[in-house]
Amino acid sequence: MWIHRNRELQVDLARRASDLVPYVWEAIGFGTREHLVRLSGDWLIPVTNEELPKPEWPAASEPADCIKAACFVGRWFARAGDETTIFAMLGVIP
């Protein structure tokens, strides 16, 4: 498994994740204002693909790299199980 081959990425992950909280809140606010996501109870629901704007970035650009990485992490999380399992694999909870 990828996480077992990359143990160094687990170092201090909980603290680093906590440092990102203000940016995540800002991103959620932006996403809801721009109608990219909507809130449903405790969940963020993305709008359908047909509704999303289709920006075009050069393949070798930072936004394109971020999208590729986010897709990889999203697929990995989807196959990994529930949140508790994911957090345990990442070393966030014992």
- What DSSP string describes 40-52? ETTEEEEPPTTTS
Cα angle: 55, vertex 63, 28; to 5 degrees: 80
Question: Backbone dihedral region of 40: left (phi > 0), alpha (psi from -120 to 50 degrees) or beta?
Answer: beta
**Which residue range is the domain that position 49 belongs to?**
2-90
* pLDDT tens for each residue of 52-90: 666 777 888 998 888 888 888 888 888 888 888 888 877
The answer to whether the beta carbons of residues 74 and 66 sit under 8 Å apart is no
| Residue 60 dihedral angles phi and psi, to the nearest 5° | -100, 40
Q: Pick the residue with more confidence: 66 or 8?
A: 66
pTM: 0.54
Per mean pLDDT, which range of 23-27, 31-35, 61-65, 84-88 is the poorest? 84-88
Number of domains composing the chain: 1
DSSP 3-state assignment of 37? Answer: strand
